[in-house]
């Protein structure tokens, strides 16, 4: 029976924290295999997440970047173009594949998964292929937009479930709403009902416990980012006009062309924070709890559910932003032929 959210933290506190998630990157296992899934043309945090991931080539084996469409930023081709723009600006064009994913929703696409040309097929098939690769390391799927591509891959090929770890940037849990969540709630519910390892880097708008607190001010971006990252030629046309030869300069442009909030004026780098805690889990707190479910957009606790998930909260803003600024200056790019 589904029950309203009652004493959620009492239940969660009684459950063990994931011991494997409380440690830094383990040298014994090598680099972390990752596919990043993004709605890159939405705001500006996706672009910083992509760059940060690509500038940590000593930590991550970036097997690919897949894209999807959410409500803002145009159709999926525009999200694809923005992801490719950032990859070029990071100096790794040709090293990291960028694949088109879902334009529609999980429910709209699910019935056509047997067709070779279903919506999102290139991204979904790529996720399945890489999850089935002969590699002892698990594949981290890092969706920082809606969960459509990931849910479709699990539905099309359930055999990959034990081979992947999903770390999703989304949700105001236990409160309702949040942009990535509402863009495809059935995809989230589908994943919650599988046995896949599933973790949520919480957003929690306006609260200090979520990724919303990992905010970069315009003043800091203008001070720390210009000229940062590898120089690329030819110059890359930006989303808002202009031409750029490094990601740092593009970062400044993105901040200059978006609405900022607060004092000082700032913007949350939600997605980049999710990448950061995969790199170093000590930069947030992990709590394991029985997997809840969404019912008409509201979270419902299921304290007797044997299937559990992990939620991440209390992000170390100073450490995460400090590492971003360090990495854009002292980047280590994904090597050629890393796959």
SS (H, E, C) the chain: CCECCCCHHHHHHCCCCCHHHCCCCCHHHCCEEEEEEECCCCCCHHHHHHHHHHCECCCEEEEEEEECCCCCCCCHHHHHHHHHHHHHHCCCCCCCCEEECCCCCHHHHHCCCCCCCCCCHHHHHHHHHHHCCCCCCCEEEEECCCCHHHHHHHHHCHHHHHHEEEEEECCCCCCCCCHHHHCCHHHHHHHHCCCCEEEEECCCCCCCCCHHHCEEEHHHHHHHCCCCCCCCCCCEECCCCCEECCHHHHHHHHHHCCCCECCCCEEECHHHHHHHHHHCHHHCEEEEEECCEEECCEEEECCCCCCEEEEEECCCHHHHHHHHHHHHHCCECCCCCCC
Q: What is the pLDDT of residue 19?
A: 36
Specify whether the CB–CB gap between 50 and 36 falls below 8 A. yes
User: How many alpha carbons fall within 13 Å on the CB side of residue 140?
Assistant: 23
Mean pLDDT of 142-168: 98
Q: Whose structure tokens read 């990959």?
A: 160
- Please give the structure tokens belonging to residue 3: 């029950």
Q: pLDDT band at 338, cuts 50/70/90?
A: low
Q: What is the pLDDT of residue 139?
A: 98
Overall number of domains in the chain: 1
Q: Is 259 a domain residue?
A: no
Q: Is 258 a domain residue?
A: no
**Nearest Cα residue to 278 out of 15, 16, 36, 13:** 36
| pLDDT higher than 80, residue 339 | no
Q: Is 53 a domain residue?
A: yes
Tell me how many degrees the CA angle 84-111-104 measures, rounded to the nearest 5.
35
Mean pLDDT of the chain: 92
Percentage above 70 pLDDT, the chain: 90
Q: Is 250 a domain residue?
A: no
| pLDDT higher than 80, residue 159 | yes
Can you say whether residue 142 is alpha, beta or left, with left for phi > 0 and alpha for psi between -120 and 50 degrees?
beta
Q: What is the pLDDT of residue 334?
A: 82
CA 212 to chain centroid, in Å, comes to 14
Q: Is 271 a domain residue?
A: yes
**Nearest Cα residue to 308 out of 277, 286, 283:** 286
Measured between alpha carbons, how far is 57 from 45 in angstroms, rounded to an integer? Answer: 19
Omega of the bond leading into 84 within 30 degrees of 0 (cis): no
Mean pLDDT of 116-123: 97
Note down the domain range covering 104: 8-218+267-329
Q: Is 297 a domain residue?
A: yes
Q: Which residues contact 96 (CB under 8 A, 6 or more apart)?
A: 54, 62, 64, 65, 87, 334
Q: pLDDT band at 183, cuts 50/70/90?
A: very high
Q: pLDDT band at 41, cuts 50/70/90?
A: very high
For residue range 204-260, list pLDDT tens digits in order: 999 999 999 999 999 999 999 999 999 999 999 999 999 999 999 999 999 999 999
Measured between alpha carbons, how far is 232 from 224 in angstroms, rounded to an integer? Answer: 19
Predicted TM-score of the model (pTM): 0.91
**How do 285-290 and 98-100 pair as beta strands?**
unpaired
Q: Is 29 a domain residue?
A: yes
| pLDDT higher than 60, residue 18 | no
Say how many C-beta atoms besides its own lie within 10 A of residue 234's C-beta. Answer: 8
Mean pLDDT of 326-332: 98
CATH of residue 117's domain is: 3.90.245.10
Q: Is 336 a domain residue?
A: no
Percentage above 90 pLDDT, the chain: 89
226 vs 28: which has the higher pLDDT: 226
Q: What is the pLDDT of residue 17?
A: 41
Q: What is the pLDDT of residue 335?
A: 80
């Amino acid at each position: 029976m589904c029950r309203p959210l009652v004493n959620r933290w009492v239940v969660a506190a009684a459950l063990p924290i994931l011991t494997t998630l409380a440690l830094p990157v383990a040298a014994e296992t090598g680099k972390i295999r990752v596919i990043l899934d993004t709605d890159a043309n939405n705001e500006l945090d996706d672009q910083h997440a992509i760059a940060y991931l690509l500038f940590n080539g000593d930590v991550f084996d970036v097997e690919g970047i897949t894209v999807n469409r959410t409500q803002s930023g145009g159709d999926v081709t525009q999200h694809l173009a923005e992801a490719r723009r950032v990859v070029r600006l990071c100096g790794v064009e040709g090293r990291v594949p960028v694949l088109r994913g879902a334009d529609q929703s999980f429910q709209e696409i699910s019935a056509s998964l047997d067709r070779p040309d279903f919506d999102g097929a290139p991204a979904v098939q790529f996720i399945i292929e890489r999850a089935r690769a002969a590699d002892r390391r698990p594949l981290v799927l890092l969706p920082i937009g809606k969960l459509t591509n990931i849910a479709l891959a699990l539905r099309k090929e359930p055999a990959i479930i034990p081979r992947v770890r999903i770390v999703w940037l989304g949700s105001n849990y236990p409160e309702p709403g949040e942009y990535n969540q509402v863009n495809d709630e059935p995809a989230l519910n589908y994943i919650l009902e599988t046995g896949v390892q599933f973790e949520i880097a919480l957003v929690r708008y306006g609260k200090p416990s979520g990724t919303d607190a990992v905010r970069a001010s315009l003043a800091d971006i203008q001070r720390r980012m210009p000229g940062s990252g590898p120089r690329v030629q030819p110059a890359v046309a930006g989303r808002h006009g202009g031409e750029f030869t490094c990601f740092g300069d593009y970062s400044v442009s993105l901040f200059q062309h978006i609405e900022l909030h607060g004092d000082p004026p700032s913007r949350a780098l939600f997605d980049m924070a999710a990448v950061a805690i995969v790199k170093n889990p000590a930069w947030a707190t992990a709590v394991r709890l029985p997997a809840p479910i969404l019912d008409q957009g509201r979270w419902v606790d299921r304290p007797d559910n044997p299937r559990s998930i992990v939620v991440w909260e209390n992000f170390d803003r100073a450490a995460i932003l400090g590492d971003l600024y360090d990495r854009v200056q002292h980047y280590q790019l994904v090597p050629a032929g890393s796959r």
